Structure 1
């Protein structure tokens, strides 16, 4: 049986879901972002217990097909931006269509209707958060970050970063260094 779980966006979430399933005596086959596969059918009483337990962690079991598809879209995007080590060989629209087996226009319209924002804006927001993270880690230079996150150029990344954050990537990086310096003086 496959369970769909809303707000499941990190490795910690996967561990929480595994733990809660184990507490209920359910046998986990696989847990991915937004989904848990268990070997047995779940009875109504255990379903309600699982739903309540997950809700305490900010996670939510989903029954509605549209909501499940929206969560799948989000999870594919989050996984592609935050957790994939290799660069996508196609653009996000083709990647989403291929992963979810739906026409991109349908996915885009559904996402906009339900979320009140476009898939493109959702992707940009996550890409900028990933850029911030990579800048703080200081392991990659801006050219490498631009390539890793599918930007056409460093200038494109810098313009989008400034548009979203109000800062240039180099200014953001400087603020981190300044902040760290003041913390070191404590």
Structure 2
């Protein structure tokens, strides 16, 4: 059995693309999830090189060093929390990361800042803002429903954080998106 770590896997479509490349090379997958693949057996050096050459043009990268693997695992936990576990963020992010990654949060935080040049908290906020944008564009939830779903203490706090990151209020962002849409007869 062998485990490979892949950088930039952020969604289910990424999993499908990577899985397709592994299938083309005849590598048997035991388990695949965001950023991590478990294979039935260790790939040969030649197959590993072919995999890297196939994944790189698609925006993925096989990660070999421990620091980069840990950074990618931190990002994947945050992406999973924000984008795939609506309203499931009941504990502190630091507790969730420490528990899932089996490391002290201070270690994870320092490593992330050193390698990424930003804090875990800023990355987490950026992911939450991206999720807010997505939910605003879908136009199915009110701002207070979005705030509740993403565990914001209030709509005002969500709006302030959104404006700090994007420079726009959520309602202005939504208006701009709507203005860019053309009616079908103008397409």
TM-score (norm 2): 0.94
Q: 1:68 maps to what in 2?
A: 69
68-77 vs 82-91, which deviates more?
A: 82-91
Q: 2:29 maps to what in 1?
A: 28
Tell me the C-alpha RMSD between the 2 structures: 1.2
Give the Cα separation in 2 of the matches to 1:177 and 1:28: 43
| Cα deviation, residue 86, structure 1 | 4.3
Q: 1:12 maps to what in 2?
A: 13
- Within 5 Å, give how 1:91-102 maps onto structure 2: 91-102=92-103
Give the Cα separation in 2 of the matches to 1:110 and 1:124: 18
- Within 5 Å, give how 1:108-119 maps onto structure 2: 108-119=109-120
TM-score (norm 1): 0.95
Ranges of 4+ aligned residues in structure 1 off by more than 3 Å: none
| Cα deviation, residue 21, structure 1 | 1.0
| Cα deviation, residue 39, structure 1 | 0.6
Cα distance per residue 1:70-126 (max 9 Å; x no partner): 000011111111122342220111111111111111000000000000001111111
Figure out how many residues of one structure are paired with residues of the other and give that number: 184
Q: 1:158 maps to what in 2?
A: 159
Q: Establish whether residue 178 from structure 1 lines up as the match of residue 167 from structure 2.
A: no
| Cα deviation, residue 140, structure 1 | 1.1
